[in-house]
Amino acid sequence: MTKLTLVLLLFLIGIAIPLVHSTNEVDEWIQKLHHAKEKVSRLHFYFHDTLSGKNPSAVEVAEASKTKKSPSFLVVAMNFVFTTGKFNGSSLTILGRNATLQPLREMPIIGGTGAFRLARGFVTAKTYFLNFTSGDAIVQYHVVAIHY
Ligand SMILES: *[C@@H]1O[C@H](CO)[C@@H](O)[C@H](O)[C@H]1NC(C)=O
Ligand SMILES: *[C@@H]1O[C@H](CO)[C@@H](O)[C@H](O)[C@H]1NC(C)=O
Ligand SMILES: *[C@@H]1O[C@H](CO)[C@@H](O)[C@H](O)[C@H]1NC(C)=O
């Protein structure tokens, strides 16, 4: 065996093993999906959107010159990621309209990962506290997710 073919072979083994592994995992998941029952998970929490002070939980990373004055309040894209417990590593993705002026805002869950693969559902958000000066807010979230 020449040096080149050996290197090539090692390279092929190197990429083939992870590919086979992940394909099996996905195949098994799809097999189980045929018999899987839909589950409904509900979450209730208070989202701390703190911009000011020493320990902010939200940081502005970009703003276009028109963004602040936008009458349509733009779009909300959020990932809720679990970092502990049974759902550690799983996530839910929310994409919807930021209807800030409505007392109860509703946004769709458009998908998820891990335990929430193929998830759908919706969230309702209600401002619980807002400091107009600092922009700090606490928003109450009710999440309803349908998943397998
Ligand atoms: C929704 O819009 C308001 C007003 O523009 C903004 O302050 C807030 O950060 C937005 N919320 C999200 C989650 O993007
Ligand atoms: C969550 O999962 C990550 C990645 O697998 C792991 O490093 C971490 O220790 C887990 N956290 C808890 C609290 O179990
Ligand atoms: C609102 O924010 C301002 C500016 O950060 C701060 O001085 C004030 O104490 C805050 N008010 C409340 C009720 O948190």
> Tens place of pLDDT for every residue, the chain, 148 residues?
555 554 455 455 555 555 555 679 999 999 999 899 999 999 999 999 999 999 999 998 888 888 777 777 788 999 999 999 999 999 999 999 988 778 899 999 999 999 999 999 999 999 999 999 999 999 999 999 999 9
Residues 102 and 129 occupy one common structural domain = yes
Residues 106 and 43 occupy one common structural domain = yes
How far is the centre of ligand 3, averaged over its atoms, from the C-alpha of 50 (Å)? 11
128 with 103: CB under 8 angstroms?
A: no
Q: What per-residue confidence (pLDDT) applies to 112?
A: 98
Residue 112 DSSP symbol? E
* Domain limits for position 59: 37-147
Q: What is the value of pTM for the model shown?
A: 0.79
121 with 99: CB under 8 angstroms?
A: no
Residues 29 and 48 occupy one common structural domain = no
Evaluate: CB of 55 within 6 angstroms of ligand 2.
no
How far is the centre of ligand 2, averaged over its atoms, from the C-alpha of 89 (Å)? 7
Residues 110 and 82 occupy one common structural domain = yes
Residues 63 and 45 occupy one common structural domain = yes
Residues 29 and 2 occupy one common structural domain = yes
Domain total for the chain? 2
Residues 56 and 124 occupy one common structural domain = yes
How far is the centre of ligand 2, averaged over its atoms, from the C-alpha of 70 (Å)? 40
Residues 31 and 44 occupy one common structural domain = no
Q: What per-residue confidence (pLDDT) applies to 10?
A: 47
Q: What per-residue confidence (pLDDT) applies to 15?
A: 53
- Residues contacting ligand 3 via CB (< 6 Å): 52, 131, 133-134
Residues 41 and 74 occupy one common structural domain = yes
Residues 47 and 91 occupy one common structural domain = yes
* Cα separation, 5 vs 122, whole angstroms: 53
* Ligand (nearest to CA of 82): 2
Which residue is closest in CA terms to ligand 3's atom 13?
131
96 Cβ contact list (under 8 Å, min separation 6): 75, 76, 105, 106, 107, 108
Give me the numbers of helices (H) and strands (E) for the chain, helices first please.
Answer: 1, 6
Query: What is the atom index within ligand 2 of the atom nearest the CA of 83?
Result: 1
Residues 28 and 48 occupy one common structural domain = no
